[in-house]
Structure 1
Amino acid sequence: MRKSLGRHLIAEFYDCDRQALDDVNFIEQKMREAAIIAGATIINSSFHRFLPHGVSGVVIISESHLTIHTWPEYGYAAIDLFTCGEDTDPWKAFDFLKDVFKAKRTQVTEHARGDYSTIGIPADAPHKLVKGGV
């Protein structure tokens, strides 16, 4: 397995709870919980509710970020979960959010970010993450 600095999940959530997808406070709380469940350290978050509906937001973590954009009228959410370091697991956040938003269908791809060999980092080098930042 090739080593990389980070893991980036790009997820599509379909047929979700429409009310949950339009509740900015609920979404921010659950996105922050997802970061903690993934093993991340939260730095800050910012969320906005659009009129007539929809929410966009980001949780900034020491290990990168979690973002969400919702279209409640379609029961759809686009979610990015980007974590760096060996102590975080974006799949834990994915599973938690899938349950929270009651997604009946999902589509997700994982991208390795910062491939060691492409950057020129020796494969046996320790991870470059320093606590408190990437």
Structure 2
Amino acid sequence: MTPPITYDGRHLLADLYGCPLLGDAALIERALRDAADRAGATIIGLHLHHFGEGHGVTGVALLAESHMSIHTWPEHGYAAIDIFLCGARHDPDAALQSLSDHLAPTRIVRHLIRRGEAP
């Protein structure tokens, strides 16, 4: 018999609406770095792609504890956020708050999924 999983992974998905500056790649990079720091996570790689003037940014931070990503649509003031952190001492809500501090949304819709729990 396999022992029960005791994995503490949390996957936070968030939609941010009404964000004013989503085409600024430097801002998105700072936001990801600060979010990882506030969550207590360690960045081991970070990559961003800007789709050109007037278009959005896709960014991913590879973390020792998993990952964070963002996809932005400045023409709609919308950003899709994905924060997956392993370990009870890492705080995905702190990461989302940090991203919100940088991106200034007027509305946030969030969904938290516990990963690795046995059914």
Query: TM-score, length-normalised on structure 2?
Result: 0.90
1:73 is paired with a residue whose SS is: coil
The equivalent residue for 1:130 is: none
The equivalent residue for 1:127 is: none
The equivalences for 1:2-81 within 5 A come to 4-17=7-20, 20-52=21-53, 53-81=55-83
Deviations 1:5-33 (A, max 9, x none): 3000000000111xx21011110121011
Q: State which structure, 1 or 2, has the greater radius of gyration over its C-alpha atoms.
A: 1
Distance 2:10 2:30 in 1: 23
CA contact (8 A) 1:22 1:70 kept: yes
- TM superposition outliers: structure 1 runs of 4+ over 2 Å: none
Partner of residue 89, structure 1: 91
- Cα deviation 1:34-56 (Å, max 9, x = unaligned): 00110001101000000241000
User: What stretches of structure 1 of length at least 5 have no aligned partner?
Assistant: 119-134
Hey, what does 1:124 align to over in structure 2?
none
Q: 1:7·1:113 contact (CA, 8 Å) conserved in 2?
A: yes
- RMSD of the alignment, in Å? 1.5
Structure 1 length-normalised TM? 0.80
State, as a whole percentage, how many aligned pairs show the same letter.
Answer: 47
Query: Aligned equivalents of 1:11 and 1:111: distance in 2?
Result: 11
Count of equivalent residues: 114
* Alpha-carbon shift at residue 96 of structure 1 (Å): 1.3
Residue 125 of structure 1 corresponds to: none
Whichever residue aligns with residue 26 of structure 2, its letter is N
8 Å Cα contact 1:24-1:55 kept in structure 2: yes
Structure 2: distance between partners of 1:98 and 1:36: 14
Q: Check the 8 A contact 2:27/2:102 in 1, yes or no.
A: no
